[in-house]
Amino acid sequence: MGALCGLIAAGAALGAAEVLGALIRPQATPLIAVGQAVIDLTPQGLREFAISAVGEADRPLLVAGTAVLLALFAAGIGAEALRRPWIGDAGMAVLAAIATAAALTRPEQDPLYALPSLAGGAVAVVLLRLLVRTAPPRGRADAAAPADEDGGREPGAAGGTGGGEAAPAHGTAADTAAAPGTPPPPQGSGFDRRRFVLLAGSAAVASAGAGAGGRWWATAQAGVERRREAVRLPRPDSPAPPLPDGADLDVAGLSPFFTPNGDFYRVDTALSVPRIDATRWRLRIHGRGAREREYTYADLLRRSDLIERDVTLACVSNPVGGSYIGNARWIGVPMAALLREAGVRPPGEGGPADQLVSRSSDGMTIGTPVAALMDGRDAMLALGMNGQPLPTDHGFPARVVVPGLYGYVSACKWVVEMELTTFDDFDAYWIPRGWAQRAPIKTQSRIDTPRPGSTVGAGTVPIAGVAWAQHVGVEAVEVRIDDGPWQPARLAEEDTADTWRQWVLDWAARPGEHRISVRATDRSGATQTAEEARPAPDGATGYHTVEVTVT
């Protein structure tokens, strides 16, 4: 019964915190703040897990895990509070303190971040007190015999001295003060079941409703998404050349050349995706060797130097054969133009800054070599993705895209600030977590079909996949069956050196178990190394290999 009280009190507290959070600081609700802190505190040993795990499926898991821990703790507190109400106060205060600390250490925090957790804590303490005094005493119908309760566990403490505020607290002045307007149950009358069920039930219903309402309000009411959809991207001043015929081989099971936005991989540390009102968004550029500049979303949309380019984005934590890679047609402002407007010179021209640190609205920092942003490649501040305004998950209203660099050193989403500094002076988010400061994308290839572990019929079987060497270009792809020779695959037409390239090999498959490997050679003449390396610190290596059964 006490555990139930604890759960209800904690649930109501979360509900209240959700509502308040939705109103003032959506990133500061206890579950989000604590989950987010867990992500940031993930120890070095788990860092690889962390960078990829914050991908799709593990996000709800993390929130659920936090909720389960909270529930267990709250139930324990409630059970204890039945005997000693001060434990209820203290326990709930500790929970509130943890959540408050988590919220106040968010990089983007302000003092208001403390409010949802503090308010939740107050609700929990008051409600638990109320519930506990209405709840039936343990194992007895007679609430007027509390001394036995204590005495049972603490011999010699009968009379409530050791138990302090045990059940005799019923009807004391302090208790009544905590619950104005709630008359204490008559002494010795036992458990008022109706009253308890009513109180507990309404608290549970109210908190569930409040929680759901808060969530709904946070997303729907803001209307940010509707306004995002209403954005009309201008026609780019420099459109992408049409995709060459034959760039998309259209083999069943092969990744499409352009990855639809809905299927595009997502990797970030955001538990709750930042929803930015583009009309209030600003991008500030400043730092060493720069004149401070600020841009609005409208400023960017009406520029006359928008470019449209195809770029394949890849995550450093992508394992060999993994899915953290996608190709899109982006529209944006050339980064070099923005930097030149701010008076920035690259290090090669004597500029004092060699690193541009992009900062997102949720406090992520991503450090990119200034040289790469200004060396003529199509580095851009992207506003559009595959013909649409950037999806919320992919950085609306603006994100960086730099051909040839892994996302964690280039592709800042929800970017609000760019600071010119040096690699010596500043380490971006992932660097102290064991990842390299500079990380060009490694030449890689992947077999999309046949799928690993699949069974195919004997005869002609297309083996097909993608290969990438962004900003260098893919020169050749070779496939090896079992211990046979490396055979050249047929390459699809190249779109640009910044995009992946499809390939296919028609295989005369004979019955049995077979092992298929792939490797790519880039236009610098380098062939992928067979040596297997894990993603940390600067990208996985090795040949993607799949095993299939032919019948």
Interaction site with Mo ion (CB under 5 A):
267, 315, 407-408
Say whether the peptide bond before residue 397 is cis (omega within 30 degrees of 0): yes
Q: Is 335 exposed, middle or buried (0-12, 13-18, 19+ CB in 10 A)?
A: buried
| DSSP-assigned letter for residue 263 | G
Nearer to Mo ion, 6 or 407 (CB): 407
Shortest distance, position 501 Cβ to ligand MTE, whole Å: 20
Identify which of 110, 86, 134 has the alpha carbon closest to the alpha carbon of residue 28: 110
Among 29, 42, 134, 360, which residue sits at the site for ligand MTE (rule: CB under 6 A)? 360
Pairing label, strands 365-369, 355-360: antiparallel
End-to-end CA gap in the chain = 61
Shortest distance, position 324 Cβ to Mo ion, whole Å: 7
Q: Which does 369 bind (CB under 5 to 8 A by kind): Mo ion, ligand MTE, none?
A: none
Distance CA 394, CA 95 (A): 33
Identify which of 423, 396, 233, 261 has the alpha carbon closest to the alpha carbon of residue 326: 261
| Interaction of residue 394 with ligand MTE, rule CB under 6 A | yes
Shortest distance, position 524 Cβ to ligand MTE, whole Å: 23
Nearer to Mo ion, 225 or 393 (CB): 393
Contact string 320-349 vs ligand MTE (x = CB under 6 A): ------------------------------
Distance CA 497, CA 248 (A): 15
| Alpha helices (runs of H) in 267-415, residue ranges in sequence order | 297-301, 335-341, 370-374
Distance CA 511, CA 271 (A): 47
Give SS3 for 495.
coil
Nearer to ligand MTE, 33 or 412 (CB): 412
Neighbours of 110 (CB within 10 A): 11
Shortest distance, position 269 Cβ to Mo ion, whole Å: 10
Q: Give the tokens for residue 288.
A: 């060493």
Identify which of 164, 386, 365 has the alpha carbon closest to the alpha carbon of residue 258: 386
**Which residue has tokens 């102290």?**
432
Nearer to ligand MTE, 78 or 407 (CB): 407
| Interaction of residue 98 with ligand MTE, rule CB under 6 A | no
CA atoms within 13 A on the CB side of 493: 10
Q: Which does 269 bind (CB under 5 to 8 A by kind): ligand MTE, Mo ion, none?
A: ligand MTE
Shortest distance, position 431 Cβ to ligand MTE, whole Å: 12
Nearer to ligand MTE, 196 or 408 (CB): 408
Among 269, 272, 327, 386, which residue sits at the site for ligand MTE (rule: CB under 6 A)? 269
Identify which of 175, 146, 144, 177 has the alpha carbon closest to the alpha carbon of residue 162: 146
Distance CA 125, CA 300 (A): 50
| Interaction of residue 47 with ligand MTE, rule CB under 6 A | no
| Interaction of residue 364 with ligand MTE, rule CB under 6 A | yes
Q: Which does 196 bind (CB under 5 to 8 A by kind): ligand MTE, Mo ion, none?
A: none
Q: For residues 381 and 398, is the Cβ–Cβ distance under 8 A?
A: yes
Shortest distance, position 415 Cβ to Mo ion, whole Å: 15
Question: Under 8 Å CB-to-CB from 306, ≥6 apart: which residues?
Answer: 234, 236, 237, 238, 331, 332, 333, 383
Q: How many residues bind ligand MTE (CB under 6 A)?
A: 18
Nearer to Mo ion, 134 or 327 (CB): 327
Nearer to ligand MTE, 182 or 437 (CB): 437
**Which residue has tokens 């130097």?**
305
Nearer to Mo ion, 321 or 407 (CB): 407
Shortest distance, position 411 Cβ to ligand MTE, whole Å: 4
Q: Which does 413 bind (CB under 5 to 8 A by kind): Mo ion, ligand MTE, none?
A: ligand MTE
Contact string 407-426 vs ligand MTE (x = CB under 6 A): xx--xxxx------------
Shortest distance, position 367 Cβ to Mo ion, whole Å: 13
Shortest distance, position 230 Cβ to ligand MTE, whole Å: 22
Shortest distance, position 315 Cβ to ligand MTE, whole Å: 3
Q: Give the tokens for residue 29.
A: 């609700």
Among 124, 267, 271, 516, which residue sits at the site for ligand MTE (rule: CB under 6 A)? 267
What is the binding site for ligand MTE (CB under 6 A)?
Answer: 264-269, 313, 315, 360, 362, 364, 394, 407-408, 411-414
